A and B are shown apart, each in its own frame.
Chain A
Amino acid sequence: MARPMQVSRYWRHFREKYRLIGGKCENGHVHFPKRPVCPVCGSRNVEEIELSGKGKVISWTIVRNPPSGFEYYKPFPLALIELEEGPIVLAQLTDVDPEEIDFGMEVEVVTKKIKEFEEDGIILYGYKFRPPVK
């Protein structure tokens, strides 16, 4: 499993994972995460864009047998969320009763702990989504 020397592997994505930085090509197509080539039109002229983090649940599941390293959180909800700018993001849902999750449910991004490794390991943070705090 991951050791501290793997810090760089996670650190290089911290902007995307803390601030939801995606890509927008010269023709206006938005995607997440940012890619070197626009998946819609093939343009390589892609700029960074910070996404709003507001979206809707389009499908979800409750993960009961997670991959090793996520046992502590089980069972946890995982969803596909369509952001208001268009791209779909895969993320865990948090601060929600699994029974309340439904198609089209509005959610907003929040930074949370994703997982931690052993005693000498790193703690990973990233985006999860929750029902909007009013």
Chain B
Amino acid sequence: MRKAVIIGAGMTPVGEHWKLGLRDLAVEAIFNAMEDAGIDKVDSLYVGNMISGPFVEQENLGALIADWAGLGNIPAVKIEAACASGGAAVQEGVKAVMSGLEDVVAVVGVEKMTDAWPSDATRYLAYAADAEWELFHGASFVALNALVMRYYMKTYGYTEEDLALFAVNAHANGAKNPYAMFKRPIKVETVLKSPYVADPLKLFDASPVCDGAASVIITTPEKAKELGVPKEKWVEVAGMGRAIDTISLASREDLLTLKAAKVAAERAYKMAGVEPKDIDFFEVHDAFTVMAALSLEALGAAKKGEGAKLAKEGQIAIDADYPIQTMGGLKARGHPVGATGVYQTVEAVLQLRGEAPSQVPDAEIGLTQNIGGTGSNITVSIFRRV
């Protein structure tokens, strides 16, 4: 199998882009990534997107985006794995390069969510749940996560205040990221005073509905050399894993174990030949504060039931042992669902190149974890400085 390196990364700011459509955002991110790599053509395109059909009545995103980005008659498809679509698209791109089938691959993650009414957006997001046994009963995604949050707090004795610390950390880092949707630090009280969306989950426990696109260019070290991309720009894809769990929450063997993340992480660690303690920063999927806690546990950064303890002990800050959400995470950077996994990848690349606005000192190895559904479809990728 060949090695894969990321040689270009680009993104658009996350926010409510009323003046830009889905194709505009995707094309801008791809152009930024290609310019960063210093290349003008690619062999193929993988588009990470979750729900363009309901949101903007557009499918066939492979053709749409490759066409509008002027990439020629290349192969191009949409990859869908709910909110983990971006992470899955990156992994599909890496697989194409590693297999030897394609030499230079572009991946773009894009989602345009603000063209819909809020209650319709809530409905479309719930399409990632089990339609017959969850959405049928009026379950929103927030509600499903609230069920997990209440159970987590009860089981391990945590409070709403404890979990709020994840949002506070995300906003502290997002405040320095020019591409983040929310560039203001917040306090624990801000979270606690925000209205309940689905008790005990509050508005500030949740990531926002927003628009955005991010892109990376993947190739082999040999090809990168041939293309004249300076080595300082290379970031190695060291390991990756992906797994599913039951689509409905009620069918879970254990409500408080992200089994899919655990299995995916085991594969990624093995492939990269590293352990959790070797990871310099974790970009976890904090769509809801409780998911950040459960993710740290599934990834082996914390013992079971102790994810929120890491936040309480101040271990998740940029200069601590387990920095997470270095550029704001889903909570502050924003969560344009199908684009999120690619944003995480771009941010990992910036950290490993030493170009991040809130830099983890001497970062050499970083991990991204992207959750689809209520933990039903998860990707874990490990990146290493070359």
Contacts and interface: CB of A to CB of B under 8 A. Distances in A.
A92 B137 contact: yes
Contacts, number: 105
A52 interface: no
A80 interface: yes
B201 A68 contact: no
A18 interface: no
Interface residues of A, number: 35
B151 A62 contact: no
Contacts of B246: 39
Contacts of A58: 151, 255
B199 to A, nearest CB: 5
A71 to B, nearest CB: 6
Given A65-B118, A65-B140, A88 B251 contact: yes
A3 to B, nearest CB: 16
B147 A114 contact: no
Contacts of A90: 133-134, 137, 139, 147, 248-250
B356 interface: no
Given A62-B199, A80-B250, A88-B251, A68 B119 contact: yes
A32 B130 CA distance: 13
Interface string A1-19: 0000000000001000000
> Number of contact residues on B: which range applies?
35 or more
Contact of B120 (A39, A60, A68): A68
Contacts of A61: 143, 146-147, 150, 198-201
B301 interface: no
Contact of B137 (A33, A65, A68, A114): A114
Contacts of A89: 250
Interface string A76-114: 101110000001111110000000000100000000001
Contacts of B196: 62, 64
B132 interface: yes
B119 to A, nearest CB: 4
Nearest to A66: B138
B257 interface: no
Interface string B245-269: 0101111100100000000000000
A90 B133 CA distance: 7
A92 B135 CA distance: 11
Contacts of A63: 138-140, 143, 198
Contacts of B150: 59-61
Contact of B132 (A13, A71, A73, A103): A13
A86 to B, nearest CB: 12
Contacts of A44: none
B120 to A, nearest CB: 5
Contact of B138 (A67, A80, A87): A67
A119 B179 CA distance: 46
A126 B134 CA distance: 12
Contacts of A60: 147, 150
B154 interface: yes
A73 B197 CA distance: 15
Interface in A42-69: 58-69
A2 to B, nearest CB: 11
Contacts of A62: 196, 198-199
B133 A33 contact: yes
B138 A59 contact: no
A103 B152 CA distance: 12
B82 interface: no
Contacts of A33: 132-133
A31 interface: yes
Nearest to A58: B151
A78 to B, nearest CB: 5
A33 B136 CA distance: 13
13 contacts: A39-B251, A59-B147, A61-B143, A61-B150, A63-B198, A64-B198, A65-B118, A66-B138, A78-B139, A78-B198, A80-B250, A90-B249, A90-B250
3 closest A-B pairs by beta carbon, nearest first, are A67-B123, A61-B146, A70-B138
Given A92-B137, A115-B138, 8 more contacts: A13-B132, A32-B250, A64-B195, A69-B138, A80-B147, A87-B250, A88-B250, A90-B139
